[in-house]
Chain A
């Protein structure tokens, strides 16, 4: 089963990390990601820019409305995501806990993936992570 690990945190906290603190978090995450990749469990990983860089398209009307800023103003913001291929929710939670120890604060939301198209090519079964 593919899981998305959606990373939520207060971006003003993350943005106020010094470069050294930020580098230290990334350095702690790197070996975990490398191991998961070796095991064939890791899909795309993304870190998003702050929500100040976001633009929202409201498509519930015609023509759609373009709005500066994130979809919703929330206390914690979606700052990035991982895709992992796990046998069970327990395994996905174990991975999330390990990532969380390297990068404390905030929350991870684990969401099973219903459809995944890694290359934008022919749609396949979402069982394999790496293209």
Chain B
């Protein structure tokens, strides 16, 4: 049997199997060890006997038996039996049939995701734990993506596990508001994970792209669990639409190519089509949210065959709606870009002036301010803004973009001012 296929089957069954084992044993380490052993046995027996019809159920069954054996062995070695664990074990056995019929499948996986994305954990630990536990990436792979050492990553994951063990996540089926809160927490962590991969730039950027793939996989998993949640459709659409630009977004050295300068023929049409389909579905619900609105902006960029075809008026409206739902200076700055394209530089400049304090350390603020001042003929002030932007640039592409504008200012200053439009 094809070994690659075996690996894919185990990976696909992992969240469901681990989630059921977590509910049976109520301990992440026990569940993980049980699954590990079950996977080893699968690697031995499946190639000979063929794969089982239901890989997850097989792994749950074998993993559960392995863990119970381990608990029994520990019992014999331990001086005093732990009554609570013993009755737990009986419960676990009685509950097996129930587990396998998947009646708790949805809340089990959500719980597993929620444990990993627990609000008590700092973001970096949430992401690392989710990649290790849910996605099943090795510590080495995660360390590579986060550009850190294996030892440091191991420590980060251990610390996160210890913290969630003491966080005491209840194992009963959650109430509807609790469930909604869990979904929102997990969605936010998936979004963060995606941005870890997406925001990377420079020589290491390509190493981090797998984080985007993982985030999309987790978003799809969450959407399969909650197929009627418009915001989860929106999140999945957003990630697909952003990631569709991956091949055009980074140059050979991993530096970011600005949206206007990207070769749009290299955008992934299949991801765009799926993103648009999901967004279309989400909008039918008439319950806009932050992910849907951002996905709608990404969709307008994706639909434009050339930069000048972009529907900026619609983008301005979407950013205004996003500003109302989630006020933030960065959202206002994005809206100002659209305002500029739709209504000219003066109203855009008026929009961003109040953001100066909040965004004084932000490259894009000074870049936009410089461009607007330039358009308004305020060349001296534009030069100051561009100089600030260059000092804050994160990548050679950002710096080069600003430098081109500065060069143009200098040329303009030494030739006839009337020629500059």
Measured between beta carbons, the chain A residues less than 8 angstroms from B4 are 21
Q: Across the two chains, which residue of chain B brings its CB closest to A50?
A: B220
Q: Are A69 and B227 in contact (CB under 8 A)?
A: yes
Measured between beta carbons, the chain A residues less than 8 angstroms from B143 are none
In the complex, how many angstroms separate the beta carbon of B227 from the nearest chain A beta carbon?
A: 4
Measured between beta carbons, the chain A residues less than 8 angstroms from B236 are 52
Q: Are B277 and A51 in contact (CB under 8 A)?
A: no
Identify B224's interface contact among A18, A52, A55, CB under 8 A: A52
Q: Across the two chains, which residue of chain B brings its CB closest to A12?
A: B12
Residues of B228-250 contacting chain A, CB below 8 A: 228, 233, 236
Q: Are A15 and B227 in contact (CB under 8 A)?
A: no
In the complex, how many angstroms separate the beta carbon of B244 from the nearest chain A beta carbon?
A: 12
Q: Are B273 and A17 in contact (CB under 8 A)?
A: no
Residues of A48-84 contacting chain B, CB below 8 A: 49-53, 55, 66-69, 75
Whether, in the assembled complex, A33 has its beta carbon less than 8 Å from a beta carbon of chain B, the answer is: no
Q: Are A49 and B277 in contact (CB under 8 A)?
A: yes
Q: Across the two chains, which residue of chain B brings its CB closest to A75?
A: B54
Cα A10 to Cα B11 in complex, Å, equals 12
Return the CB mask of A1-27 against B: 1 if under 8 Å, else 0.
000000000101101111001000000
Q: Across the two chains, which residue of chain B brings its CB closest to A105?
A: B5
Given known A-B contacts A16-B11, A52-B236, A68 and B281 have beta carbons under 8 A apart: yes
Measured between beta carbons, the chain A residues less than 8 angstroms from B8 are 13, 16-17, 105
Cα A18 to Cα B224 in complex, Å, equals 20
Whether, in the assembled complex, B2 has its beta carbon less than 8 Å from a beta carbon of chain A, the answer is: yes
Q: Across the two chains, which residue of chain A brings its CB closest to B232?
A: A52
Cα A69 to Cα B281 in complex, Å, equals 10
Interface residues of B, dominant DSSP: helix
In the complex, how many angstroms separate the beta carbon of A106 from the nearest chain B beta carbon?
A: 10
Most B CB contacts (10 A, CB to CB) among A13, A21, A55 go to: A13
Given known A-B contacts A13-B9, A21-B4, A75-B54, A49 and B217 have beta carbons under 8 A apart: no
Q: Are A51 and B224 in contact (CB under 8 A)?
A: yes
Total A-B pairs in contact (CB under 8 Å)? 54
Cα A12 to Cα B15 in complex, Å, equals 11
Q: Across the two chains, which residue of chain B brings its CB closest to A53?
A: B277
Whether, in the assembled complex, A44 has its beta carbon less than 8 Å from a beta carbon of chain B, the answer is: no
Q: Are A52 and B54 in contact (CB under 8 A)?
A: no
Whether, in the assembled complex, B320 has its beta carbon less than 8 Å from a beta carbon of chain A, the answer is: no
Given known A-B contacts A12-B12, A15-B220, A75-B54, A50 and B228 have beta carbons under 8 A apart: no
Residues of B115-147 contacting chain A, CB below 8 A: none
Q: Are B5 and A49 in contact (CB under 8 A)?
A: no
Cα A50 to Cα B219 in complex, Å, equals 13
Measured between beta carbons, the chain A residues less than 8 angstroms from B284 are 66
Q: Are B274 and A104 in contact (CB under 8 A)?
A: no
In the complex, how many angstroms separate the beta carbon of A10 from the nearest chain B beta carbon?
A: 6
Measured between beta carbons, the chain A residues less than 8 angstroms from B228 are 67-69
Number of interface residues of A (CB under 8 A): 21
Measured between beta carbons, the chain B residues less than 8 angstroms from A10 are 9, 12
Identify B227's interface contact among A16, A49, A68, CB under 8 A: A68
Cα A15 to Cα B224 in complex, Å, equals 12
Q: Are A52 and B278 in contact (CB under 8 A)?
A: yes
Given known A-B contacts A68-B281, A104-B5, A52 and B223 have beta carbons under 8 A apart: yes
Q: Across the two chains, which residue of chain A brings its CB closest to B8?
A: A13
Cα A66 to Cα B227 in complex, Å, equals 12
Whether, in the assembled complex, B221 has its beta carbon less than 8 Å from a beta carbon of chain A, the answer is: yes
Return the CB mask of B262-295 against A: 1 if under 8 Å, else 0.
0000000000011001100100100000000000
Q: Are B217 and A53 in contact (CB under 8 A)?
A: no
Cα A15 to Cα B236 in complex, Å, equals 13
Cα A105 to Cα B273 in complex, Å, equals 25
In the complex, how many angstroms separate the beta carbon of A12 from the nearest chain B beta carbon?
A: 4
Q: Are A13 and B12 in contact (CB under 8 A)?
A: yes
Cα A31 to Cα B216 in complex, Å, equals 31
Return the CB mask of A91-117 against B: 1 if under 8 Å, else 0.
000000000000011000000000000
Cα A35 to Cα B420 in complex, Å, equals 60
In the complex, how many angstroms separate the beta carbon of B208 from the nearest chain A beta carbon?
A: 15
User: Given A50-B220, A104-B2, 10 other A-B contacts at CB below 8 A?
Assistant: A12-B220, A12-B224, A13-B9, A15-B220, A16-B8, A16-B217, A18-B213, A53-B278, A67-B228, A105-B2
Q: Which 4 pairs between the two chains have the least Cβ-Cβ distance?
A: A69-B227, A12-B12, A68-B228, A13-B12
What are 30 contact pairs spanning A and B, CB under 8 A? A10-B12, A12-B12, A12-B220, A12-B221, A13-B5, A13-B8, A13-B11, A16-B217, A17-B8, A21-B4, A49-B273, A50-B274, A52-B223, A52-B233, A52-B236, A52-B278, A53-B274, A53-B277, A53-B281, A55-B281, A66-B284, A67-B228, A68-B228, A68-B233, A68-B281, A75-B53, A75-B54, A104-B2, A105-B2, A105-B9
Tell me the B residues contacting A by CB distance below 8 Å.
2, 4-5, 8-9, 11-12, 53-54, 213, 217, 220-221, 223-224, 227-228, 233, 236, 273-274, 277-278, 281, 284
